[in-house]
Amino acid sequence: MTQDDDKRAAADAAVGEVQRDMLVGLGSGSTVRFAIEALGRRVADGLRVTAVATSIDSAERAAALGIVVRDFAEVARVDLTIDGADEIDDRLWAIKGAGGAMLREKIVAAASTRMVVIADASKRVAAIGAARLPIEVLPFARAYAVDRLAMVDATVTVRNGVTDNGNIVLDARFAAFPDARWLAEALDATPGVLGHGLFLDEVDATYVADRGVVTRLERVDLNG
């Protein structure tokens, strides 16, 4: 089994949750591409659904497979969102945003009745924090945001290019990862920071594939 085989297995399992007439949120990244392909096959077989996408790339891929993609600006609620992660732990805390779409991903997640993350086993960790933390910042606030992150012992790299929203991405790494909730609150309170890759409450379930075996973990099970 290859890593792509596991990505495909996790994606197929999650797409199994899609039901007729759902409005489906499509995330971004290499694993989600397999989910878009799986959903495209179901649509070709007659499943009637519509979708919104968290990136231009995902929207184009979905439309090319015959999936009706709506403009999220006209959507208030999403039934089910399927997305990937850079890291996810057993609390269903995740770091996302390697592809730079974390702001749109978080907005769509917030609008979703249910959000599931799909991943291969390499993304499952004991505790999040080893991966770089992407932060979307208004270009006007670049130096200020970098300085604020340095104050909490983050090493910051500014990515080349801009997001689909026309903003920049800062990648922050920490020698010792701070308390995740404190960090999320601090970033949310920083003027000029528009979004970040900490997903602490959004994920309802995860499908993780390891050598072809898919395991599902539900937040409801964690909370008793």
Active site residues: 105
Within 10 A of 212 (CB to CB), how many other CB atoms are there? 10
Nearest to 119 by CA among 111, 110, 128: 128
Q: Yes or no: say if 121 and 208 are a contact pair by the CB < 8 Å rule.
A: yes
- Residue 60 token pair: 């184009």
Nearest to 27 by CA among 83, 66, 74, 73: 83
- Residue 156 token pair: 């910051």
C-alpha span between 55 and 69 (Å, rounded)? 11
